[in-house]
Structure 1
Amino acid sequence: MQWYELKNWLELSTGLDRDALHIYAGIGIQLVVALILRRSLASPVPWGFVMVAAFANEYFDYTATSGSLAGNAALYEEAYRDIWNTLLLPSLFLMIARFWPNWLIGKARSDEKIDMLQNDRPRS
């Protein structure tokens, strides 16, 4: 089964359009690579795997199709959209995990911790 046929089968069997598949693939690749390599989402390594996969996918799409110059312009436009869809959420996850990690772990502020500790003490 060729790469393009595999993508068509995946689209038909899931009922999702290609844009949604690119979004899910980007997130899935990032999370699986982070798990396997035991890296945080703050590490650029899982994101790098997503980027390589996105460009490899577009390379295979480009080599599988051939056409006129006008067709190539449409192919480039679709490739840009596919790369955008694949990398958008993994890039967002990378930036949040790297620069605002408290958004992901939900740490309470120190004044909230003090209030929680004072409310848990038995009153005399």
Structure 2
Amino acid sequence: MSFDPALWYEVKELVRHSTGWPMDTLHVMGGVLLQLVLAALLRTSLASKWPWLIVLLLELANEAYDLWLERWPSLPMQVGEGLRDLIGTMLLPTILLWVARNRPRLLSGRGR
């Protein structure tokens, strides 16, 4: 069985069309959901760097894949779009990591 490089693109399009949400929204929601799922699977908290780091690595791989598969007329525009996706995906996971490490009572409600 060989890997079809277009498969990941088709999966992303399926999710986009079935939800009706724009890709920016899917990046934001996907980053947070993936961080939560990874923390659960790794049996760690959101204060651990590992779920955040894995989300970052997966997002970088996703953007590298997009650069490899898609060819835009303007490379700077394509790279800019990739950076926007990276920021959109990582902003909330970064905030959750920071809050979990520096203000954990905001997440747990304990210590009041």
Same fold (TM over 0.5): yes
User: Offset of 1:2 from its aligned partner?
Assistant: 1.9
Partners of 1:92 and 1:49 in 2: CA distance: 15
Can you list the C-alpha shifts for 1:46-96, whole angstroms capped at 9, x where unaligned?
Answer: 00011011101101100101244xx11111110010000100000000000
- Matches for 1:20-99 after TM superposition, within 5 Å: 20-68=25-73, 71-99=74-102
The Cα RMSD (Å) is 1.2
Partners of 1:105 and 1:6 in 2: CA distance: 35
Q: Mean Cα displacement is larger for which, 2-11 or 33-42?
A: 2-11
Find the counterpart in structure 2 of residue 14 from structure 1: 19
Aligned-pair identity in percent equals 39
Find the counterpart in structure 1 of residue 3 from structure 2: none
Equivalent residues of 2:72, 2:78 under 8 A apart: no
Spell out structure 1 runs of 4+ moving beyond 6 A: none
> Gaps spanning 5+ residues in structure 2: where?
1-5
SS of residue in 2 equivalent to 1:38:
coil
SS of residue in 2 equivalent to 1:26:
helix
Question: What amino acid is aligned across from residue 103 of structure 1 in structure 2?
Answer: L
Partners of 1:43 and 1:67 in 2: CA distance: 37
Partners of 2:33 and 2:72 in 1: CA distance: 32
Tell me the TM-score normalized by structure 1.
0.82
> Gaps spanning 5+ residues in structure 1: where?
110-124
Q: Mean Cα displacement is larger for which, 95-104 or 1-10?
A: 1-10
2:105 pairs with 1:102: yes
